[in-house]
Chains A and B, each alone.
Chain A
Amino acid sequence: MLAAVICVVLVGLAGAGRVHDLDDYYVMGRNAGTLLIAGTFFATWLSVVTFVGEVGLGWSWGLPMTLWTYASLWGATIFALFVGVPLRRAELLTAPDYFAERFASRRMRSLATLCLLAGLSFYAVGQITGAAVALEVGTGLPYEASVGLIAVGVTVYLAFGGMVAVVWTDLVMFVVMTLAVGLAVPFVLDAAGGMQALTEELPRQVPGIWAWNGPEGVSLSVCLGHALVWLGVTASAPHLMTRAYAARDSKTFLNGMLLGSIVAGPFLLAVIGMGTAARLALPDLPSRDLVMPTLARELVPVPVGCLLFAGILLAATSTINTQVLTLAQALVKDIGRDLLRLELPLDRVTRVTRGAVVVVGLVLGGLALARPATVYTIARWGGGVFACTYLPILLLSLYWRRTTERGAFWGGVTGLVLYTVLLTQVEWRLGMPAFADRFGLTANVWAAVANTVVTVGLSLAAPPPAAEADAAQELLARMFPPLAERQRATGARDYVLPVAAIVVPCLTLGGLGLALF
């Protein structure tokens, strides 16, 4: 495990040598190829919420119900097709840059930055906590030491390498994590007693585990709620948005996202299946967050277990590194340079951002020491913020030219306030299933709907001022050039990945279906 961590830090530091200017540090000089985009997308998307959380969900909900969370890959698709590609063409540096440029507005930048800082901090603290708990249970390392290891490890190479280090280390993590899961699945299946035990013995012990709505038989709106939460998080999170900025061009970005998703599908299935299978071998665990670490310690041979622990650590760090970098960039570029108008020449921004990375890493580590509630809950608040603030405004402002700054700003504020109030005052008190049963959908879906209604309503009420309309026109012309100027598929080779995206899941899922029935 330590070897894996050292390897990642070394790769990160090697990346540091390639950082020459601001573009390198913030967006990797905009030259990442298909494989690097696939790796960084996969590793960033696959957070510890997925790696530890989904195994736990597979264990307690069963495989079919946990598949609802696969909507997060739908989110990634929506993002790549409708948001990522135009964002790549806009040549921006940070996520709030888009909102500021599209609406020629400082208060839009403030709002976007505020959401980013609040959302990503909570999200990242959830990640650090999850990984540290897993390490504590699995290796006996004290919780505080685990937090320290993660925070310091990430901060060191990030400070030197920026986005270059993030993308390269993500690729290494991508390989280690797929290898770990691929090796572990047969052992877990064996420990559970094989496929037959899963289809015959397991439903006897846990009735309903193979039902579409899980052993507790929750309602459709609860399942939809889970799906929409995950979809929204992936379709709008700013640390995923900035993946698009690093791609060499829009075609490369699309292919990279597709390749990442092709691997992510079967991977997620294996992870969830592993959790469900572990239910037979480990029927009594106090918390579902403990399934993954216990499984790694007890159900697989020691080398595979070590690889899984390395995977947990990497799943967390690969998401945390991007989040810390995105936070530091927002602090320095958006708040320092653009909002407070500090005298920061562009060449000094890189140096100051390196410092901010260290500060952010240490602050988040400090917050994680307080050991907040369960990983899933806390990261959900942080992730959910973007689905009800960024997502509706992003989609509207990209595809509906009439969207105005006034509409977007007040829509965003409505989404943020309503989400926070509903979630903390109502949903957390009732519990998510009870909330979804009573109100039809989850808090962040309602907040996203309210955001959309306010944005559209205010935009229709008054046309944008001339300066704002000009800024929007200029940016949108850059984001959506005439079809003739765009890249297109030129030969059969360009269709290899889309075809693989269909064939690979058909084979893996077909295999699973055959094995089950």
Chain B
Amino acid sequence: MVGLDALAMIGAFLASTVVMGVGVALLLRRGV
């Protein structure tokens, strides 16, 4: 069966892209 740890990995993968999007948005707001 597919375990919860697979879900956790996919979640971490997702979190990293969210951090990236937020980071760029903040930087654009501040000025680059």
Among residues 59 to 101 in chain A, which have CB atoms less than 8 Å away from a CB atom of chain B?
63-65, 67-68, 70-71, 73-74, 77, 80-81, 85
B6 to chain A, nearest CB (A): 4
Among residues 1 to 32 in chain B, which have CB atoms less than 8 Å away from a CB atom of chain A?
1-3, 5-10, 12-14, 16-25, 27-32
Nearest B residue to A213 via CB reads B5
Let me know if A285 is at the binding interface, CB within 8 A.
no
Let me know if A373 is at the binding interface, CB within 8 A.
no
Complex alpha-carbon distance, A484 and B31, angstroms: 8
Complex alpha-carbon distance, A212 and B3, angstroms: 9
B12 to chain A, nearest CB (A): 7
Please give, as numbers and ranges, the residues of chain B lying within 8 Å of A64 by CB-CB distance. 5-6, 9-10
> Chain A interface secondary structure, helix, strand, loop or mixed?
helix
The residue in A85, A494, A513 that gathers the most chain B C-beta atoms within 10 A of its C-beta is: A513
A422 to chain B, nearest CB (A): 28
Let me know if A517 is at the binding interface, CB within 8 A.
yes
Let me know if A502 is at the binding interface, CB within 8 A.
yes
How many residue pairs between the two chains, A and B, have CB atoms under 8 Å in the bound complex? Answer: 117
The answer to whether A258 touches B21, judged by C-beta atoms less than 8 angstroms apart, is: yes
Please give, as numbers and ranges, the residues of chain A lying within 8 Å of B12 by CB-CB distance. 67
Let me know if A200 is at the binding interface, CB within 8 A.
yes
B15 to chain A, nearest CB (A): 10
Contact pattern, A 389-411, Cβ under 8 Å of B = 1, otherwise 0: 00000000000000000000000
Let me know if A294 is at the binding interface, CB within 8 A.
no
Complex alpha-carbon distance, A39 and B26, angstroms: 24
B2 to chain A, nearest CB (A): 5
The answer to whether B13 touches A70, judged by C-beta atoms less than 8 angstroms apart, is: yes
Complex alpha-carbon distance, A210 and B6, angstroms: 6
The answer to whether B32 touches A261, judged by C-beta atoms less than 8 angstroms apart, is: no
The answer to whether B10 touches A487, judged by C-beta atoms less than 8 angstroms apart, is: no
The answer to whether A254 touches B2, judged by C-beta atoms less than 8 angstroms apart, is: no
Given contacts A81-B27, A486-B32, A498-B28, contact A212 B9 (CB under 8 A): yes
Interface segment among A109-117, A301-309, A504-512: the answer is A504-512
Let me know if A488 is at the binding interface, CB within 8 A.
yes
A498 to chain B, nearest CB (A): 4
Please give, as numbers and ranges, the residues of chain B lying within 8 Å of A67 by CB-CB distance. 9-10, 12-13
The residue in A210, A254, A483, A506 that gathers the most chain B C-beta atoms within 10 A of its C-beta is: A210
Residues of A within 8 A of B (CB): 63-65, 67-68, 70-71, 73-74, 77, 80-81, 85, 199-200, 203, 210-213, 250-251, 254-255, 258, 261-262, 265, 269, 483-484, 486-489, 494-495, 497-502, 505-506, 509, 512-513, 516-517
| 16 A/B residue pairs, CB under 8 Å, sorted by A | A67-B12, A74-B16, A203-B2, A210-B2, A211-B3, A211-B6, A212-B5, A486-B30, A486-B31, A497-B24, A498-B22, A498-B24, A498-B28, A505-B14, A505-B18, A509-B13
A67-B10, A70-B16, A254-B28 known; 14 new pairs, CB 8 Å cut-off, are A64-B6, A67-B9, A68-B9, A85-B27, A85-B32, A203-B1, A254-B32, A258-B20, A484-B31, A486-B30, A486-B31, A497-B24, A499-B21, A502-B22
